[in-house]
């Protein structure tokens, strides 16, 4: 796979707040800590969704969890169009997921939030989890500006898939102890 040119890449940082009264909240900043996007999760709304807004407050993308499905399904919308989907596939052992995002390939350990995104064999983004922080933090390196919003939305969606899986594992463990 060809890698990116370091001169043309953009760094974004996603910082998830641990808890806010209205629901989950993320701030996406640039390298100078200036807000680029805000992400707000619905609290009691069905279906569960995350609205990604630019600095002017306009919704640029939305992540939704399908309410009535046997296995989890998450959709990423830009405008009214679904531009990406994450589906859990049936598996007896370790959970497997399929990500369909406009010809993008995700390689690496996306479960631990350390992966790259490529299109036609060319790396267009890299995501790494940042440690030693309060809440989850991710460093997102974007090479192709046109994919910025989609990449941010994918990171939010994958983070939500992970959070749902972690909470379902925790509740399964708690019920087996009781």
Q: Name the more confident of 56 and 49.
A: 56
Rounded to the nearest integer, the mean pLDDT of the chain is 78
- Please state the domain extents for the chain: 6-177
pLDDT digits (tens, 9 = 90+) for 168-178: 655 444 444 44
How high is the pLDDT of residue 175?
46
pLDDT at 91: 63
Residue 139 structure tokens: 């460093």
25-49 mean pLDDT: 83
What residues contact residue 91 under an 8 Å CB cut-off, 6+ apart? Answer: none
Answer yes or no: is pLDDT of 20 > 50: no
Residue 106's pLDDT is: 81
Task: Give the pLDDT of residue 102.
Answer: 83
pLDDT score, position 138: 87
Q: Average pLDDT in the 7-25 region?
A: 69
Task: Quickly list DSSP for 53-107.
Answer: EETTS-EEEEEEE-SS-SS-EEEEEETTEEEEEEEEEP-SSS-EEEEEBTTEEEE
- What pLDDT sits at residue 58? 96
Residue with structure tokens 């707040």? 17
Report pLDDT for 151. 92
pLDDT for 114-172, tens place per residue? 888 889 889 999 999 876 555 568 899 999 889 999 999 888 888 777 776 666 655 44
**Chain segment 60-72, per-residue pLDDT in tens:** 999 988 766 666 7
- Write down the pLDDT at residue 88: 73
- Regarding predicted confidence, which is higher, 166 or 26? 26
Instruction: Quote the CA–CA distance of 65 and 60 in Å, as a whole number.
Output: 17
**Would you state the pLDDT for residue 141?**
94
CATH 2.60.120.10 assigned to 6-177: no
């Amino acid at each position: 796979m060809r890698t990116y040119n370091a001169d043309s890449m953009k760094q974004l940082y996603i910082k998830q707040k641990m808890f806010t009264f209205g629901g989950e909240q993320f701030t996406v900043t640039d390298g100078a800590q200036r807000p680029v996007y805000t992400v707000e999760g619905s609290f009691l709304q069905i279906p569960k969704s995350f609205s990604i807004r630019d600095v002017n407050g306009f919704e640029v993308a939305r992540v939704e969890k399908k309410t009535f499905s046997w296995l989890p399904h998450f959709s990423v919308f830009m405008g009214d169009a679904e531009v990406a989907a994450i589906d859990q596939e049936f598996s007896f052992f370790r959970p497997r997921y399929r990500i369909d995002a406009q010809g993008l390939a995700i390689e690496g350990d996306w479960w631990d939030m350390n992966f790259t995104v490529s299109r036609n064999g060319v790396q267009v983004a890299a995501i790494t989890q940042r440690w030693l922080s309060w809440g989850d933090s991710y460093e997102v390196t974007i090479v192709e500006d046109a994919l910025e919003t989609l990449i941010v939305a994918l990171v939010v969606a994958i983070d939500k898939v992970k959070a749902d899986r972690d909470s379902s594992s925790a509740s399964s463990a708690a019920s087996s102890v009781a």
